[in-house]
Amino acid sequence: MKLHEEWIFKAYNDLQSAKILFNSDENLNDTAIYHTQQCAEKSLKAYLSFCNLEIPKTHDLKTLLKKCNEQNDSFLVILEFANYLNPFSAFFRYPGFDALPSDYIVSNAIFYAERIYKFVKNELNITL
């Protein structure tokens, strides 16, 4: 498997993890929402890898999306989704924030993460 395929595979696993955690009988929304951000992050890193670019060691989706957009300006269509998911790399992960996101917030996050994942997968022309 090529490196960009490994990144998109990991993104898929994060998306599936988010869905499983969200649909669990336990209230694991804080962990589920984290995986939505991770799905988006790894999807964008897959595209950067595909372009043979250095992958920044950052969780900031805005930074990653900007780098992707420099290669392909069609990435602007997922800007709103990335902005929504960006805070979830840390928010809800540590004490001091709200303990759990609502089902509504998590379901939106899953929807947006899946949109980003599918968009990038389409740009990579990958069928997994």
Q: What is the pLDDT of residues 7-20, one digit of tens each?
A: 999 999 999 999 99
In the DSSP assignment, the letter for residue 97 is B
CATH fold of the domain at 3-124: Four Helix Bundle (Hemerythrin (Met), subunit A) (1.20.120)
CB 104 within 8 A of CB 22: no
Global pTM reads 0.95
pLDDT at 108 over 80: yes
- Helix 3-22 and helix 29-50, axial crossing angle in degrees, nearest 10: 160
pLDDT band for 97, please (50, 70, 90 cuts).
Answer: low
Among residues 102, 99, 6, 111, the alpha carbon closest in space to that of 49 is found at: 6
The ranges assigned to domains in the chain are 3-124
Please measure the distance between the N-terminal and C-terminal CA atoms of the chain and give it in whole angstroms: 11
